[in-house]
């Protein structure tokens, strides 16, 4: 029982952090209080899309806010995969510039956390392909804690 409580606490911590973080970062794309977000954007991307960097960052902000909110809903499992993919894409953008490598590594680590949240959610929901009845029982006990 104590094991399930610890897993449940880890799940809630990841869920709140990976829900609030993207939402707040997305919201800040409209205000630039945390940083000047345009400086992280590879100049190639706005050129390819024929859009101003600020406009593109606003679109990015909307996507991030939506993903963050979805993590906090009953679609946590799917949204966590979206957040993980999004963070990998951000890292690739930073790596393509050869700048902000520390942030690229941090975002890859956050992508791993989002992946773990998705997997924990699968277990919690009993969605994981259970190889035995024991695994299914464990998923049920975890989801009830």
Segment 95-129, tens digit of pLDDT: 999 999 999 999 999 999 999 999 999 999 886 55
All structural domains of the chain with their residue ranges: 2-144
Q: What is the pLDDT of residue 143?
A: 59
Predicted structure pTM score: 0.84
pLDDT at 49 over 70: yes
What proportion of the chain, given as a percentage, has pLDDT over 70? 85
* 28: phi then psi, degrees, rounded to nearest 5: -70, -15
Work out the widest C-alpha separation in the chain, in whole angstroms.
55
The residue with tokens 């966590």 is: 80
């Amino acid at each position: 029982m104590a094991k399930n409580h610890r897993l449940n606490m880890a799940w809630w911590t990841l869920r709140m952090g990976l829900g609030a973080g993207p939402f707040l970062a997305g919201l800040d794309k409209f205000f630039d209080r945390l940083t000047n977000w345009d400086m992280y954007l590879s100049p190639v991307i706005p050129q390819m899309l024929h859009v101003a960097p600020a406009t593109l960052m606003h679109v990015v902000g909307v996507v991030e806010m939506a993903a963050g909110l979805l993590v906090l809903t009953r679609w946590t499992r799917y949204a966590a995969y979206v957040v993980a993919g999004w963070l990998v894409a951000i890292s690739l953008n930073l790596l393509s510039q050869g700048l902000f490598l520390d942030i690229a590594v941090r975002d890859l680590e956050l992508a791993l956390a989002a992946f773990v949240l998705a997997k924990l959610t699968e277990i919690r929901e009993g969605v994981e392909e259970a190889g035995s009845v024991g695994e299914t029982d464990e998923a049920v006990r975890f989801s009830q804690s």
